[in-house]
Amino acid sequence: MDEIILLAEDESAVRKFLMAALKAHGYRVVEARDGADALEIGRKLQHIDLVLSDVVMPSMNGGKLATELKAIHPKAKFLFISGYTKDTVSMKDLGDGASFLQKPFTQTEILAKVREVLGTPATAG
């Protein structure tokens, strides 16, 4: 795999868990500590396949981040995660075609959702 994932998550433990799981399965992961950090990093990256972002973060929420990054990386796909339920999160604020996975989730669940969003086949890992 050569997909580049920009990970925006303000909870350190969750970010570390996601980084380890994604890297162990061959993804190239760039981490950001919040939405503003992710936007700054995204402006510097030439290509992003997937933005994996928490919905609620300090400084900039996931919806605003998606709006800003889509202008820079129009082909990037978006997967949002949150401790809030999908019913509570306004999916329309996250943009057309956004995918969502509620916390807590297992490594297997997040990897399956990432593969689904990226449209890549499952691999043994």
Q: What is the pLDDT of residue 46?
A: 96
Q: Letter for the amino acid at 60?
A: M
Residue numbers of the chain with a pLDDT score lower than 70: 1, 90-93, 96, 120-125
Long-range contacts, stretch 115-119, CB < 8 angstroms, 24+ apart: 117/50, 117/77, 117/78, 117/79, 118/3, 118/49, 118/50, 118/77
Query: Domains in the chain, start-ordered, CATH in brackets?
Result: 4-118 (3.40.50.2300)
Q: What is the pLDDT of residue 125?
A: 44
Q: What is the pLDDT of residue 1?
A: 60
Q: What is the pLDDT of residue 85?
A: 78
Q: What is the pLDDT of residue 124?
A: 44
Q: What is the pLDDT of residue 29?
A: 98
Q: What is the pLDDT of residue 84?
A: 81
pTM: 0.91
Within 10 A of 62 (CB to CB), how many other CB atoms are there? 29
